[in-house]
Structure 1
Amino acid sequence: MLKLNNPDLLRNACLVAGEWVRAGSGETIIVTNPANGEIVGEVPSLAADEIEQAVDAAQKAFTTWSRLAAKDRSAALRRWFDLMVAHADDLAALMTAEQGKPLAEARGEALYAASFVEWFAEEGKRIYGDTIPAPTNDKRLIVLKQPIGVCAAITPWNFPAAMITRKAAPALAAGCTMIVKPAEQTPLTALALGVLAIKAGIPAGVFQVVTGKAREIGGVLTGSDVIRKLSFTGSTEVGRILMAQSAPTIKKLSLELGGNAPFIVFDDADLDAAVEGAIASKYRNAGQTCVCSNRLYVQAGVYDAFAEKLAARVAALPVGVGTEAGVLIGPLIDGDAIAKVESHVADAVSKGAKIVTGGKRHALGGTFFEPTVLTGTTQDMKIAREETFGPVAPLFRFETEEEVVAMANDTEFGLAAYFYTENVRRTWRVAEALEYGMVGHNTGLISNEVAPFGGVKQSGLGREGSRYGIEEYIEMKYLCSAIG
């Protein structure tokens, strides 16, 4: 049974125009705990006309919110941040209940999510325009930066809090209004953020949360002339659909899509550090992150030693329900997720890979899968081409720097990459040669609020976080003033 310090955070209605509303049809979506299948709550399945009401409310709210002084918007966001930190334990409990990640990891996400609100509360006061020296003395040339307008965000289930604040915080700081459509599996955290937004004094219609069928809501949001910006985190396949649907209204888009991250260990690397980096990158959230290492390339001279060290660490990772003390690996999100992991392992084994540890469903049953290490994996296997999104580390052997860079870049994706080396010259060569939007050198953790997050190739468009993130919610206007 889910117990919260503040039970008011658990909502079964959507936040529209400052009110908590249910679907007129009475239709709901059941939210279950992936660790045990128990019902955690239910949320409305809003119809298209009810989503339109949220769009109308966002448009009305934009008129006043965008005219507030940046300092006043910043103060409201700061209050939201303070409330998120104060309620971090409850937000963590909600995330563990609906998403499955261990409680300590969920609390870390709650604070990570709050960090974007704090960061952009300050960045909103630093949206600077420009003056341009005119070619003639009778004119003055000015560049203004203004909020783009009503925005929408469609967010995933793997980070139910952080993927919302990473989009909503810069939007609100810039003077935009935001409609959030969270994943059907994890809407409760989003609604709790809505409760805290209201408590922080963010006006009605500025931050709204709607739940329902993804296809129906997505159709309304992409088809609306009012919504000028859409931000989406999810699969490349769905990103392509949303991009096409947004084309008729020429929306500005931010797309954070699929990844197939390489993790490269050169023979001069600190192997113990590389093992710890691989654990952090590969097994966090049971391997269900878009920047997880999906392909581990290890140079031939250290391949066996690295495999042995990694397998020993992985075999000892505690698996269980996220609320249990000491658990580091929780369940996968649903049956489809575990079926995909099984298919990748089976395909690899059928083509010559060997299971060093794990490799099957966990004895706990349900959607738990044993943390796994495979050796002898090759580029022709599914696990090399597709994003596994599970706790499986396939180890690929390589001989030369040129070979591994080519192997790492042999994918349509370009989100994150990692490599370990103590050679300074190699560091710069490899970092610049990898075709990825983010590269970690001698670390498996690269995400924070101050750095730009995003990919290249078919991993997406735009950047989130950092001083660049707020630019995604701004339009540039050029003013030419004749003065005589």
Structure 2
Amino acid sequence: MYLIMSLNLLQRTLYVTRSKSISNLSCRGVHLLQNKAFINGKWVGAHTGETFDVTNPANEAVVGNVPDMYVKDACKAIDAAHSAFYNERWHNSTAKERSALLKKWFQLMETNRQEIAQIMTAESGKPMVESLGEVTYGNSFVEWFAEEARRIYGEIVPPPQANRQIMLTRHPVGVAGLITPWNFPHAMITRKAAAAIAAGCTVVIKPAEDTPLTALALTKLAEDAGFPEGVFNIITSSRKNAATIGELLCKSEKVAAISFTGSTEVGKLLYQQCAGGIKRIGLELGGNAPFIVFNSADIDKAVTGAMNSKFRNCGQTCVSANRFLIQDGIHDEFIAKLLEKVKALKIGDGSRDGVQIGPLINQAQIKKVSQFVDDAIEKGGKIIHGGQRLSKHGQLYYEPTIVTCLRDDMRLYNEEVFGPVISVIRFKTEEEALMIANGTQRGLAGYFYSNDLNQVFRVSKLLEAGMIGVNEGLISATEAAFGGIKESGIGREGSKHGIDDYVYIKYLCYGNLQ
């Protein structure tokens, strides 16, 4: 009841003025809601005074408003981060000190997990249970990198001559520009920022325009944790200014590294913009994940894995299964059991108890999903469930959908749908399945189900993806190295390798030793 009451307070802002949309929400449940950006330890607006509204996709109510910043504002954030990095308090900070700050940030986020989740559901539309799950997941990166900060080791290398000593040491690269997506507004910030800060970098964060309020809530807790001025900066902007701010972060000589999670198309553009300065870059980009079910699979477990992988966050995850390859022998049984599960999904406002499927994030996304399904129908695809917008719930709801009889000229076959649509391809042999699965330039995640041990080892080796779920539909974990191959990205996040994007190795050769 407390959660529902607090979220109702958030939703009442539809009829209030911009100036009141934040201040009227000062109750205990939403004290983390902020209406300013954070630069050099101060909460600030855009230099023009402009703001933009943040809306709830469940009902299109205005949740709040935040500064619509320009390049001039972003320059101030970069300058602050650059100055803080070379300031003795941070550049020479110890791993133990950085670890302590991250631990405090983690504890504050744990204490305020309910409030963070409320804000996330209100601006992203995801069910409350998923928002709470993301808070747990996102917080775990801060805890993990608080510990990893003290394990950024160097090396002593045996020298080729007796009078030499060779050492390799690891150092922070400098200012890190972090550009994060709307689908995981908490975890994508903590996964990047915690690693960068643990390494000794300072950060400038640009959250997605659809979900800046979660990012600002995390920033408020970072401030409360006591990070020095300029170490943690966040700039907000509407879609109209996002491209120029992204270009600035990529081209500024004061920014040493860029980390971006988002579409492959935008990732390619940022990669080009970083090339002029030979800038360190980490990219976690789009996928086109195959979900293969072989004849030997446990069908019930495969169906459960399919539901977990496909419908989390209404299908709006980069590792979501996109193409379902089902072998001849179990195809009909798998589809029948899957259909039963899909029909049982509860759709609605994510703030309501029991809801499993919320709205898509915005009009562009629901238009894209609708076009993908319409394209499949026009080319001979068969809809066995769904395929319609659900306007009775709101403007951004799309019915969980199963499409069969896919062909290779359909968009659902070739592109990432990023929505609640299961696209089914029937296959006969393992070789055929692998040919289809690998026939894309995307290689983020892949899934397959089999109880044939020989097949498990064969397919694990031959499936072209950076991450593979074997008899498992949920693969994300703090301890694991998250990232793809091909056009799905560069670098890894999480795990001990998450530090790598934010440090460089310095080789020290001590010669003429006696």
The TM tier, using the shorter chain, reads over 0.9
How far the C-alpha of 1:5 sits from its partner, in A, is 2.9
Cα-to-partner distance string for 1:331-370 (whole Å, 9 max, x where unaligned) = 0011111111111111111222211111101132311011
Shift of 1:45: 1.3
If the length of structure 1 is used for normalisation, what is the TM-score?
Answer: 0.99
Equivalence for 1:120: 145
Secondary structure of the residue aligned to 1:425 is helix
Look up the match of 1:471.
Answer: 500
SS of aligned partner of 1:9: coil
Q: Deviations over 1:411-458 (max 9, x none)?
A: 110000000000111001001101100000001000010000000000
The 5 Å alignment of 1:329-478 reads 329-362=357-390, 363-478=392-507
User: In the alignment, what sits opposite 1:50?
Assistant: 73
What residue in structure 2 maps to residue 228 of structure 1? Answer: 256
CA distance in 1, matches of 2:218, 2:276: 32
- Secondary structure of the 2:300 match is helix
The one-letter code sitting in structure 2 at the alignment partner of 1:74 is: S
How far apart are the structure 2 equivalents of 1:268 and 1:393? 21
Offset of residue 380 of structure 1: 2.1
Deviation of 1:6 after TM superposition, in Å, equals 5.0
Tell me what 1:191 maps to.
216
In the alignment, is the contact (CA less than 8 A) between 2:175 and 2:202 conserved in 1? yes
What secondary structure, in the 3-state scheme, does the structure 2 residue paired with 1:249 have? coil
CA RMSD of aligned residues (A): 1.0
Distance 2:31 2:393 in 1: 32
CA contact (8 A) 1:84 1:111 kept: no
Judge which range, 337-346 or 3-12, deviates more.
3-12
State whether residues 307 and 375 of structure 1, in contact with CA within 8 Å, keep that contact through their aligned partners in structure 2. no
Identify which of 79, 97, 101 aligns with 2:122: 97
Q: SS state of the match for residue 28, structure 2?
A: coil
CA contact (8 A) 1:110 1:161 kept: yes
Q: Does residue 34 of the first structure (1) align with residue 57 of the second (2)?
A: yes
C-alpha distance in 1 between matches for 2:79 and 2:46: 17
Contact (CA 8 Å) 1:80, 1:197: kept in 2 or not? Answer: yes
2:133 maps to what in 1? 108
Most deviating of 103-112 and 215-224: 215-224
Aligned residue identity for 1:218: G
TM-score computed with the length of structure 2 as normaliser? 0.93
Amino acid at match of 2:248: V
Structure 1 stretches of at least 4 aligned residues deviating more than 6 Å after TM superposition: none
For the residues of structure 1 that align with 2:366 and 2:29, how far apart are their CA atoms? Answer: 33
After TM superposition, the structure 1 stretch with the greater mean CA deviation from structure 2, 349-358 or 410-419, is: 349-358
Match of 2:109 in 1: 84
Q: SS state of the match for residue 332, structure 1?
A: coil
SS of aligned partner of 2:355: coil
Q: Which residue of 2 aligns with 1:60?
A: 83
Distance (whole Å) between structure 2 residues aligned to residue 453 and residue 66 of structure 1: 28
Amino acid at match of 1:12: N
> Out of 343, 350, 353, which is 1:322 matched to?
350
Paired with 1:475 and 1:8, the residues of 2 have a C-alpha distance of: 39
Map Cα deviations across residues 222-260 of structure 1 (whole Å, 9 max, x no partner).
Answer: 111011100000000000110111111111000000100
CA distance in 1, matches of 2:28, 2:214: 15
Q: Return the alpha-carbon distance in structure 2 between the equivalents of residues 252 and 269 of structure 1.
A: 42
d(CA) in 1 for partners of 2:158 and 2:350?
Answer: 59
- Equivalent residues of 2:166, 2:510 under 8 A apart: yes
Q: Is this contact kept in 1: 2:59–2:394, CA < 8 A?
A: no
Separation in 2, partners of 1:192, 1:364? 28
Offset of residue 378 of structure 1: 2.2
Q: For 1:345 and 1:110, locate their aligned partners in 2 and report how far apart those are by CA, in whole Å.
A: 32
Match of 2:170 among 120, 133, 145: 145
Structure 1: gaps spanning 5 or more residues: none
Equivalent residue, structure 2, for 1:291: 319
